[in-house]
Chain A
Amino acid sequence: MKKSPMQLLGTGLYYAVALLLAVVFAGPFVWMVSSSLKPANEIFSNPPILVSDNFSLDNYESVFEKAPFERYMLNSFIVATSVTVAALLLHSMAGYALARLEFPGRRVLFMLIISTLMIPFYTILIPLALLVRELGWINTYWALIIPAIPHAFGIFWFRQFFLGLPSELEDAARIDGASRIGVFFRIALPMARPVAAAMAVFFFLANWDAFLWPLIATTRQEMRVVQVGIQSFTGEHGNAWEEIMAASVIAILPTLILFFALQRFIVDSVKMSGLKG
């Protein structure tokens, strides 16, 4: 079917706007990678050089020489993974109990849990810092992991999922004599994989990207996470933009890989955060 001039104009306009936006959103990524590969004298060349004959990985080498980025990455990885695993386990259990099990005080507990969503992080920041100091957790993984686990959002989403899940399979297992705990771990939890995947991405990203809390909870260099590491790197190597860009690429590589590998789950987790209870 032939398109009318108006339709062609519409299509043209669509692609013009869509492409312009694509340049705005992808441009900084491209520029970051390009700059990270350039020698220092080409960083601010005018006109700008996108692809240089002098591309090399030298900047990456000097980043690892000047700062223990491998340690920062390891710290971030340990923290983000631990929080994610613990959060998935605890929130799925709590969500299941609140959705499926009858016990006195269930509604009150749920309301209490949900009401913690109103507590903003900046208000608990100071007491939390004092608490963690009191516990002797400053400069330990505990300080970075434990306070990040409790999260009403995670409990809420597992509860929503289990409320919507037909209980036939669980009932059948109960009839076969399985315990409540057995039913949860062997029947219900495996079925919650789609929510669990989206939640896992949510918790991993949130904790990999966390900055303010690690900035306060750690002071020693070997306990820095990657976000704090990169910020202090820019402070200590203020003008070496080619190295700072290489450090930035290193810092976002894991999440960028995650983004392209698990995009469906990331989109799911965002949609979930947008749905109203």
Chain B
Amino acid sequence: MNAADFAAENNLHRVGARPPLHRYLQEMWERRDFAITMAKFKIEANNQKNRLGMLWIGLSPVLTAAVYGVVFGVLQGDRRPDNFASFIIAGVFLFQYFTNTMNNGAKSIVSNRALVQSLAFPRMTLPMATVVQQLLNVTVIISVMYVILFVLGNPIKLSWLLIVPLVVIMTVFNAGVALFMSRLTAHTRDITQLLPIINRFFFYSSGVLFPIDRILSSFPALLQVYDFHPIYEFLVIGRGVLLQGYTVPSEYWWYASGWAALLLIIGTVTFWAAEESYGRVD
């Protein structure tokens, strides 16, 4: 009789074996309180370090938008998009939601290495905790954005409420990206060096600061490709529902939802596949 049979006969299971995907997701769901509490406590602990505390969550994107607004306002001269200040605010605020989740999600396993090496729980809890943390932050950020857009003269419309489904779609998308990136960085630490470059690529390619359709107006083929740029879609939808003088092509809602679903599936499966290896010391 070998050890495996002996173990099976006594109803023992191999420790650390990765459960099947549905059981894994169920186990993670049972740990949702841990993920949510960790997200809340991390926000609280971060805020305690700064004198202005919670204010920074809203203040940081405002200052970023101000800097970009001035620089790119001057650079673009009279080729500025309509309603320029609001254009920048909506772009920067929504883009930051994506980029913050990707960055923190990517580092979620690496920066919690001690925790991963001392307690056994479904590792997916860690990237999901950062997604929750950013989701909590974005509710503050969006309220700030509403106030600024109103002050900038955008009339309050019923379509402002459509930010809620947009945030839902973006959260699903971000979760997928965070899961995917956290597996990559857990195995190859070098990816953290690439993160700022990946960020910048998306930042400049998704038209946060300038209107893509005007710049590419002489390349209609390229513009068609842009219909399938997920982050560009998010920004177009966001500006369409919020700003005076912008509209949303209705198919963008479908494209964006499709991207979100696809990324979540890819991210979940990729992350789960390496579940046994995150605690490795190397």
- A and B co-occur in one complex: no
| Interface of B toward A, CB cutoff 8 Å | none
